[in-house]
Every structure is written in structure tokens, then in C-alpha cells.
Amino acid sequence: MEERFNSQSVRKMLKLAAACVAYTGLWLLLLFMSGNFLKDSGVRDAILPAALLAGVIPFVTLAAIVISKRLFLAISFLLSVIALTAFPLNFYGLISVSVIFLGLWRAVARTKFELANNVKFTPSKIVSRVASVVLVAYLLAISVQVYSQIADRIAYDELGFYQQIAGGVTARALPIIERQLPGFHATSTLDEYLVESLRNSQPQNIQSVPQADIDKSRADLLERLGISVSGQDPVADVIRSAIAIKLQELSAPYRQFLPALYTLAIFSLLRLAGYVVTAVSLLWGAAVFWLLRMTKFLKVTTAQIMAEHVEI
């Protein structure tokens, strides 16, 4: 009996290893193709982790089905320890790794529960349950790291944090402003912009603007904005600095809550994107389980289950 059990366990592990090797080859092929087609590094960095997660979920489900719960938890613990190399070795890194381990533990528990309490084997239903658990754990781990980075950034370089946000706002707003104001150019210096503004406000026969008027106009503008820049700085930098200062002033009463609010916003956006990842993982999972059943790697058998009924 023990020899049969060992042979069955080895056969299951070999089947699972073969499926994982096949997936790894497919993933490397997709990675190579994405490097050729996705030229934008930002888009590539956003899509590839999501595609990897969507592809891993069916194999997490398969592993939870094939191997025992204790062995799955042991492998999950080992993977969580290895994941420490991807996170900073600090309090927040330990929390992220713990969340990942708890997510995998919950995934195998949901899988075993679905197998034990459903009459018909439905891969899509099991993959859906595992996907919801794994996604939440993954997003929580990311959110913990986002909170850590935002908290450290605000503590050590608060103005730089707001300037980074203002940079994104400015990059999207400047093209609109240039289209609405034909004489406005974001690459112009502050003094050039002031000279053009003073010329437009003076009679048409003016040839030059006195330097004293430029200095006075610049000083008044910078005093109203509450920033300190030179006349040779680009207008785009002036606008970015002004937005950063205003953001800092507006968020000052809520400074201690800002990391949590920022993290909650990031988590909510990623949670919405998670529905797309879940849909992809369901399609990929259906294809994986169909292929495994067609190639006899996975067999579905029927069994008679004795159940107790209470009658009065």
C-alpha cells in the first residue's frame, strides 16, 4: 500500500512538473515576443506582471488539486522565503511576504473545499475562487510596499513627492494649454513668457520691454505662487513647482493620512484591473485543464458518496 502511495505521489509530481515546464516555455516565448512588439517600457512593465499572474493562477489551482495540503503549504512557505529577495528586508517586507503565504494557504483551502463539497468537477469555478484569493493577496502585498515607499518619501522628501505628482499633472495639462493659447509655449523661459505678456498688454508700437518691468512682473508672480525660480527656468518647471506647492498646502492638514489614502487609491485601481486578470486566468485555466484532460495528465473519475439523511 505504501509503495503504491509513493508511486502515485511521484507520478502526480511528475505530471505537475511537466505542466509547469510547458508553461515556463510558453511564458518565455511570450516574454520574447513582448520584447519585440511592446516598445513602450511603461506598458510592457504593466502588462507583463499581470499576464504572469493570470497565467500562474491556473497552475496554483492545479498544484492545490494534485499535491497534498501539507506539501503545498511547505512549497508556499519556501516560495515566500524566496520572495524576500524581491522585497526590502524590513517590517513592511515581512508583512508583504506573510500576506503572500496566507494568500496561498487560503487558495489551497478553497480548492480542497470546492473539491470536497461539489458533486461535479468544474475547473472554471475552482480557478475563479483561487484567482480571487491570489489577486487580493498579491494586491495587498503591493499596497504594503506602496504605503512604505510613500511614507518614507513624505518623511524625507515631501516636496519631491508632490513635485512627482505635479509632473504628471503638468505633462497632461500643457498640451491642452498650448492648444488653447496659441502664443503659449511650454519650452519658453519664464522671462520670455513675461516679455510676451507685457507686450500684449502695452500699445502696439512698443519695441522693447524695460528690464525693470520684467523683474517687477517676475517678482510679483513668484510671490503670488509662493515659489523661488529664476527667469531662465522653463515655464513648464514653473507650473510644476507651483502645483507642487499648492498640493503641499492643501494636503498639510491630512499629512498623516496621506500614505494610507494614496495606498487605498492605488489598491482600488488595481482591484478594478484585477477583474481583467481574473477573466484572462479563467480563459487560460479552461484551456490548461482541457489540455491536461485531453493528454491524460488529469483524469476525472466518478465515485459513489455515502451521505447521512435525517428523517422524522
pLDDT, residue 4, reads: 45
pLDDT, residue 34, reads: 55
With 60 as the cut, is the pLDDT of residue 65 above it? yes
With 80 as the cut, is the pLDDT of residue 9 above it? no
Mean pLDDT of 113-127: 78
Who wins on pLDDT, 21 or 133? 133
End-to-end CA distance of the chain: 42
Q: Which of 124-138, 227-241, 263-277, 297-311 has the lowest mean pLDDT?
A: 297-311
Do 57 and 130 touch, CB atoms closer than 8 A? yes
Who wins on pLDDT, 2 or 296? 296
Who wins on pLDDT, 125 or 298? 125
22 vs 119: CA distance, rounded Å = 30
pLDDT, residue 183, reads: 62
Mean pLDDT of 23-39: 58
pLDDT, residue 147, reads: 85
Do 19 and 62 touch, CB atoms closer than 8 A? yes
Q: Which of 29-43, 51-65, 170-184, 245-259 has the lowest mean pLDDT?
A: 29-43
With 50 as the cut, is the pLDDT of residue 5 above it? no
pLDDT, residue 158, reads: 79
Do 170 and 239 touch, CB atoms closer than 8 A? yes
Q: What is the dihedral of CA 221, 225, 231, 235, to 10 degrees?
A: -110
Residue % of the chain over a pLDDT of 90: 0
pLDDT, residue 36, reads: 55
Dump pLDDT digits (tens) for 171-203. Answer: 777 777 777 666 667 777 777 777 777 676 666
With 50 as the cut, is the pLDDT of residue 99 above it? yes
Do 76 and 105 touch, CB atoms closer than 8 A? yes
Instruction: Give 1's pLDDT tier (boundaries 50, 70, 90).
Output: very low
With 50 as the cut, is the pLDDT of residue 2 above it? no
Instruction: Give 280's pLDDT tier (boundaries 50, 70, 90).
Output: confident
pLDDT, residue 133, reads: 85
pLDDT, residue 48, reads: 65
Question: Domain residue spans in the chain?
Answer: 2-157+271-294, 158-256
- What is this structure's pTM? 0.68
Instruction: Give 115's pLDDT tier (boundaries 50, 70, 90).
Output: confident
With 80 as the cut, is the pLDDT of residue 54 above it? no
Cell of 278: 481574473
With 70 as the cut, is the pLDDT of residue 16 above it? no
223 vs 41: CA distance, rounded Å = 40
Residue % of the chain over a pLDDT of 70: 72
DSSP assignment of the chain: -HHHHHHHHHHHHHHHHHHHHHHHHHHHHHHHHHHHH---HHHHHHHHHHHHHHHHHHHHHHHHHHS-HHHHHHHHHHHHHHHGGGS-SSHHHHHHHHHHHHHHHHHHHHHHHHHHH-SS--HHHHHHHHHHHHHHHHHHHHHHHHHHHHHHHHHH-HHHHHHHHHHHHHHHHHHHHHHH-TT--TTSBHHHHHHHHHHHHS-TT-----HHHHHHHHHHHHHHHT----TTSBHHHHHHHHHHHHHHHHHGGGGGGHHHHHHHHHHHHHHHHHHHHHHHHHHHHHHHHHHHHHTTSS--------------
Instruction: Give 29's pLDDT tier (boundaries 50, 70, 90).
Output: low
Q: 18-34: b or e for each residue (b if 16 or more CB lie within 10 Å)?
A: ebeeebeeeeeeeeeee
Mean pLDDT of 15-42: 59
153 vs 53: CA distance, rounded Å = 28
pLDDT, residue 110, reads: 83
